[in-house]
Amino acid sequence: MASTVKKESASTKNLIERGLEHLWLHTAQYNDLIKDDGFLVIERGDGIYLDDIHGRRYIDAMSGLWVVAAGHGRQILADIAAEQMSKLSFANPFAYATPPAVDLAAKLASLTPSTVNKFFFINSGSEAVETAVRMAKQYHYNRGDTKRYKVISRIGSYHGTTLGAMALNGSDGLNRAPFEPLMPGVVQVPNTNGFGSLTNEKTGLDDMFWAQYIEERIKFERPETIAALIAEPISTSNGNRVPSKAYWEHLRKVTEEHGILLIHDEVINGFGRTGRWFASEHFGIEPDLLTMAKQISSGYAPIAAVGVSDKVAEAFVGEKKHAFVGGSTWGAHPVSCAVALANIDILERERLPENSSATGEYLGTQLEALKSKHQIVAETSGIGLMRSITLKRNPDTGEEFTEEDELGSRVTRLLLEAGILSRAGASIQLAPPLVINREEVDSLVEGISQAIVGLEAELEIS
């Protein structure tokens, strides 16, 4: 982990100064960046590790942002990108196909649920979400069902930052007020644990109660006005909670009964993160549309996709006006498609979804063991290599940390000192590259334990 620190060179200092002056980090607050170590510049990566410009090495406990499944520094992916660039770097995606785009679509058809067979390529998860929602609306429109404009999403979810995707977000994390009014017609319902309801999650009601609640809400909203329901099969932003099979079976049945399309947002869940290629497999159900991004290319090139079922694809075949209204210049970029294909090949050959399941379970057990070591570890949750730990000041009484405890910056700093890059606060998110092995899991958990000891000392919790 934390290794030799290079002497601060003039060029390193200059890079940070120029960065602070000219580079705008996404949603970051400048005043946080100018604090000590607030502006971290990452220079290279290798396996589960990242090195900053000072020569400090960290475990990348978040795979970047649930992205780098295959691990950092895969030369083969760089070679494939270079080879594709020399052969063909671009072709108009509105008019032409390319061999890598065809091959990638065909490969995805073999990996996704059986009815999902057609793929539309864009560049980010947010675009995939927007595209899926617009496809759902146009699906109904093309079939003469022109009154369906509403979309149901769950509170405590995250679907992106573009205006449409932001309208679907039901999380407190993003300040939506400056952009309102957002896309009309979004109906927000409570999450699997009741988060977002008046009683919130404190009632202990099981997820079937909330599935039935959603059914009632659909009836109240008049089903004939609803185009789609969008949700992650396993919600990440709502604490990596795994719903019951019955939850998804019920919602699949209800959406089908009312002609509502089910969009599974697998932007994080997909490509082995939860221990299966796609998380919907855990529940044995088939969505009508499936959004994917992030691990599709392990971040070696930007690309995202929407997969649609045969039923949905058919509604776009017919007259000229039935063609899908959407696209982007960079969509189905041949270099990104070639890289994604080679990345999927690595995931398959090295059986990384299987490793996510097995090593993920080991990680879960080691995290659970932290409860007996540290009194502030209240809860651990997740599946595969998508896990989190929840910290509370007093788990017995349920007393939470307060804003004055500044847990976000404190835990992030303490983890950094322990050689770990993560997203942290009262909840520490863990999603290491799928190549991680047990020894590396042990170092990761040891580092987290060290950070928690530091936190208890700083906050004088004994």
Ligand X SMILES: Cc1ncc(COP(=O)(O)O)c(C=O)c1O
Binds ligand X (CB under 6 A): choice among 130, 201, 232, 440? 232
Contact 248, 254 (CB under 8 A): no
**Main-chain dihedrals φ then ψ at residue 32, nearest 5 degrees:** -80, -35
Contact 235, 264 (CB under 8 A): no
**Min separation Cβ 124 and ligand X, Å:** 4
The residues, any chain, with a CB within 8 Å of residue 181's CB and separated by 6 or more, are none
Residues 389-408 binding ligand X (CB under 6 A) are none
- Asked if 125 is part of the footprint of ligand X (rule: CB under 6 A), the reply reads yes
**Min separation Cβ 152 and ligand X, Å:** 15
**Min separation Cβ 93 and ligand X, Å:** 18
161/212 with CB nearer ligand X? 161
**Min separation Cβ 276 and ligand X, Å:** 16
Segment near ligand X (CB under 6 A), from 123-131, 273-281, 392-400, 448-456?
123-131
**Min separation Cβ 19 and ligand X, Å:** 21
301/452 with CB nearer ligand X? 301
91/183 with CB nearer ligand X? 183
Report which of 270, 336, 343 is spatially closest to residue 307, judged by C-alpha positions.
270
Report which of 209, 288, 195 is spatially closest to residue 246, judged by C-alpha positions.
209
45/160 with CB nearer ligand X? 160
Which residue type, as a one-letter code, is found at position 458?
E
**Biggest CA pair distance of the chain:** 71
Per rule CB under 6 A, count of chain residues that contact ligand X: 13
Output DSSP code: residue 47: B
Sheet strands side by side (includes 386-391): 377-383, 386-391, 427-430
Binds ligand X (CB under 6 A): choice among 129, 296, 312, 452? 129
285/431 with CB nearer ligand X? 431
160/432 with CB nearer ligand X? 160
Binds ligand X (CB under 6 A): choice among 74, 154, 159, 374? 159
- Asked if 158 is part of the footprint of ligand X (rule: CB under 6 A), the reply reads yes
Segment near ligand X (CB under 6 A), from 119-127, 243-251, 322-330, 341-349?
119-127
Structure tokens at 179: 């952009």
Segment near ligand X (CB under 6 A), from 121-129, 189-197, 375-383, 397-405?
121-129
- Asked if 293 is part of the footprint of ligand X (rule: CB under 6 A), the reply reads yes
Segment near ligand X (CB under 6 A), from 125-133, 213-221, 252-260, 413-421?
125-133
The residues, any chain, with a CB within 8 Å of residue 196's CB and separated by 6 or more, are 154, 155, 156, 170, 188, 189, 190
124/412 with CB nearer ligand X? 124
275/419 with CB nearer ligand X? 275
In angstroms, the Cα distances linking 444 to 23, 59, 342, 416 are 30, 7, 28, 12
Residues 248-287 binding ligand X (CB under 6 A) are 265, 267-268
309/429 with CB nearer ligand X? 429
- The H or E element containing residue 135 is helix 125-142
**Main-chain dihedrals φ then ψ at residue 278, nearest 5 degrees:** -130, 145
Instruction: Give the C-alpha separation, 390 to 174, whole Å.
Output: 20
Q: Which residue has the tokens 């992106």?
A: 160
Query: How many beta carbons lie within 10 A of that of residue 106, not counting itself?
Result: 12
Binds ligand X (CB under 6 A): choice among 63, 98, 117, 126? 126
- Asked if 160 is part of the footprint of ligand X (rule: CB under 6 A), the reply reads yes
The residues, any chain, with a CB within 8 Å of residue 434's CB and separated by 6 or more, are 63, 69, 70, 71, 272, 273, 295, 347, 352, 353, 355, 356, 385
Which residue type, as a one-letter code, is found at position 39?
F
Binding residues for ligand X, rule: CB under 6 A, are 124-126, 129, 158-160, 232, 236, 265, 267-268, 293
